Amino acid sequence: MGKNKRIKSLLAGLSQDVLSSLQKPSKRNVAKHVLEEKELPPRNQVPLKRRKLTGLLGPGWEDYDATNLVPFYVEPSEVPQDLRKYFSQRERYFSLYNQGCLLDEQGWYSVTPEAIANAIADKCRCFTILDAFCGVGGNAIAFAQTCERVIAIDNCETRLRLARHNAVIYGVQDRIEFILGDYISFAKSYPTLPERTRTAIDVVFLSPPWGGINYISPESVANDGQSTSTPNYGLERIKPIEGADLFQLTKGITPHIAFYLPKHVDLEQVSALTKRETIEVQEAWMSNKLKAVTCYFGGLAKGQEHLLSS
């Protein structure tokens, strides 16, 4: 079945408002749309030795290339002070960063490090997975290497363009359907679609905003700036809706859910999300530091794999 036909079947029956919010950028018009409506950074923000008329992706990829949307940093001196600690870890986020991967400000502090994204993708092997908050594409790129089909949704056109750009660098752009839209609207409408016309989604990956760059509460930082004992992170702090509501909404699509959460999340709240069901919690460590946890539900949890394959 061709890509256009698959998209039509996935969205069939949605209201016009939802369809408008979920309209997939085409290869040709998304670049034009962004370039006409967004104020682009001056070209002198891109290092001189990286300036190419064809963009970072090279000739033939102009429809995917997002070179002019954000700066491509090469030297620490080019990076804003508040992002330098993230820039120093750029190859942890994208091992192919030096080939031209692009991130916006939010992407620098919210993208899942590649090793962690790969571990999650290995756990989430299935036919069709939906990345509900794809950002600059770290997880979607990893999923495209373990799943047959990836549906990546984000409500920010710039980040969606950056995700498409980065997917080309990893050679997986043809396995990902990038949809510009609001996941909450999509999740509310999906169960109302006739079963015979909607595409089955096996797994949903949730990595919603945790509350910005300072999601660890100020109370957990001492006067000298050093972290003290960090209070548990409550699911009510998740955006755009509380974590418990987001989880229940997603269960209307599939029971097989991977929920990427802060390292200090309140696990009692996570446990309360479901009854009489095993939840597997996978810790993500890098350089002896706990970075985050991923909570697996349904057939993704150890001992319940048969639920996903049935």
Q: Which tokens hold the place of 134? A: 């794809």
Region of 126 please: left (phi>0), alpha (psi -120 to 50) or beta: beta
CA distance 82 to 96: 23
Identify the domain containing residue 175 by its residue range.
3-309
Q: What is the tally of structural domains in the chain?
A: 1
The predicted-structure confidence for 217-241, as pLDDT tens digits, reads as follows 544 444 444 544 567 899 999 999 9
Residue type, 175: R
Helices (H), ranges, 69-221? 84-87, 90-93, 105-110, 114-123, 138-143, 157-170, 183-189
Q: Using CA atoms of 55, 156, 138, 54 in order, give the dihedral in degrees to the nearest 10.
A: -10
CATH code of 152's domain: 3.40.50.150
Distances (CA, A) of 110 to 41, 83, 211, 300: 21, 12, 10, 24
The predicted-structure confidence for 79-124, as pLDDT tens digits, reads as follows 999 999 999 999 999 999 999 999 999 999 999 999 999 999 999 9
Q: Which of 134, 129, 131 is nearest to 203 (CA)?
A: 129
DSSP 211: S
The predicted-structure confidence for 43-78, as pLDDT tens digits, reads as follows 334 443 444 446 999 999 999 999 999 999 999 999
